[in-house]
Amino acid sequence: MAVITLHDLAGVLTECAGSDEDATLTAESLDVAFTDLGYDSLALLETAATVQQRYGVTLSDDEVTGIETPREFLDLVNQPAAQAA
């Protein structure tokens, strides 16, 4: 299973929710709340659905709504890959 990077996540978020010039995902924003970055729960649910289609990682709605930061999202979706290693 491939590891999803911050760059991958940023691309999916932009595709699903659009992009605000002030809300670019960078390494410095890994621990910034998605709401502070301009993304709401609907954007995260759409992002999770796209990640499932592209990468085969399934997250429940409860898991997705509990995610607050890009780091948490990446940790959760990359958990199966880390366990397989």
Q: Is residue 7 part of a domain?
A: no
What mean pLDDT value characterizes the chain?
A: 88
Gap between the Cα atoms of 35 and 25, Å rounded:
13
Spatial neighbors of 69 by CB under 8 A, at least 6 apart, are 30, 31, 32, 33, 34
Question: Looking at residue 41, what is its pLDDT?
Answer: 92
Q: Is residue 77 part of a domain?
A: yes
Residue 74 lies in domain: 38-85
Q: Is the pLDDT assigned to residue 20 strictly greater than 80? A: no
Q: Is residue 32 part of a domain?
A: no
Structural domains counted in the chain: 1
Q: Is residue 16 part of a domain?
A: no
Q: What's the pTM?
A: 0.86
Quick one: average pLDDT of 28-47? 93
Residue 4 contacts residue 71 (beta carbons within 8 Å): no
Question: Looking at residue 25, what is its pLDDT?
Answer: 84
Collapsed DSSP state (helix, strand, coil) of residue 7: helix
